[in-house]
Structure 1
C-alpha cells in the first residue's frame, strides 16, 4: 500500500528534477565554460526516480478504486470551478510580483519567466486533465507500438525523450569543447530557439506525467480516474508541433 502511494510522488519528483535541470542547462549555455557537476547529477536523479516510479506502479497489483463514480464526478467539477475561480487571481498575483522584481533586478525577472511559464501552463494542463473523463467506450486491442505511445500505460513521453536528448547534447557539447549557436538558429529574432521550444515540451512532459499518475493511482488527494483517448491524442498533437519545431531548431544550431 505504501509503495503504491509513494510511486506517483517519485515520478513527480523525477520529472521536476529533469525539467528544472534541463531548463537550466539549456538557458545558461553561454554563461559557463563547463557545466557544474550538480547539473549532471540532478538530471540523472530525475531519470532514476522516474524509472523507479514506473517499475513500482507496474509491480503493484492494481485494485479497483473504492471511491464512487458520483464522488469522482463531484471532485472533478469542483476542481474545474476552482481552477477558473483562482487561476486568474494567481496569474495576476504572479504578474504583479514579476513587475516588482523587475523594478529592482530586471535580469532576475527575465530568468524567472521560463520556470513560471512552465509551472503555470502545467497547472492549466492539470485542470484540463482532471476534467477529462473516459466515456467507457470499448477499445480495440492495441499493438506494442501503440501501447508505448499511450501515456496512460507508461510516462516516458516523446516530449520527455526529446527534452533529455537536447539537454544531453548541450552537456556533451560543452564537455567536448563544441560551441553551439544557441539562440541564432536562423539569424532571425522571430525564430523559435531550442531554449524557447523546450518550455513547451516541459509542459507536455508534465501533462503526460499527470495523465499517467491520475489514470493509474492519483495523488495529493486527487482520486484515480480513467482518461480518454482524446486526451492522449491532444498531447500527441502538441508533441508533433513543438517536437518538430524544436528538432528543426536543434539541427540548425549544429550547422
Structure 2
C-alpha cells in the first residue's frame, strides 16, 4: 500500500520536523517505485537545504552512491562529491566515496583514483586520517600499478609520513609520562608528600599501557615490503558515516 506508506511518512514529517530518517525513507520509497526524477529532485533539495555542511555531505554521499550503484552514472556521482568537498573539504567519508566511485568503474580509472588520493592527502584532515589514506594509496598502487617507480614513490611518501606521525606519538607519550612523574607528589596541608607506591605503580602502568597501545597502532615493518600486510578493502575503511538522525 504505497499511498498509505507515503501518507504515514508525510504525517511523521509534519509531527517531527527535520528528522532525516523520515526524509531518507521517503526518498527510498520513490526509488523502489522507479521514480528516478523524483529521487534526484529530493536528494538535491536535501543537499541544498541542509542546515550544516556535515548534513549536506551526508546526503551528497548517499546520492552519489545511488547515482553510480543504481543509475551507473559515475560522472555525475563524481561531480556531486566534488561539489560537496567545496563546503566540507576535510571530510574523510566524502574522499573515500570519491575513490570508491573511480574504483568501481570498468575499466579501472587509475587517474581518477590517484586524483582522489591526492585530494585527500592535500586536505586539512588530521594526520591520523592522512596516514591511512597514504597507506591505502600505496596498497592500491602495489595491486594495480604497472609502474615500479610510482609504487616506490608512494612507499617513500607513506614511510616519511609514518615516521613523522610515530615520532609525534612517541613525544606525546613521553610528555605524558613526565607529567605523571611530576604529579607523583601531592600537597597535603601545605607539605609535599609522596603518593603511595601502589598509586605510583598504577599510574605508571596505565601510562605505559597507553604509550604501548599508541605505538603498536603504528607498527609497520621497516624493511621495504617485508611481511607487508595487504588490508585494502574499499568497502570496509574505518570511516563510518556520522549518525545524523534526530535523537527523537
Give the TM-score band, short-chain normalised. Answer: under 0.3
TM-score by length of 1: 0.23
TM-score by length of 2: 0.24
Higher CA-based Rg = 2
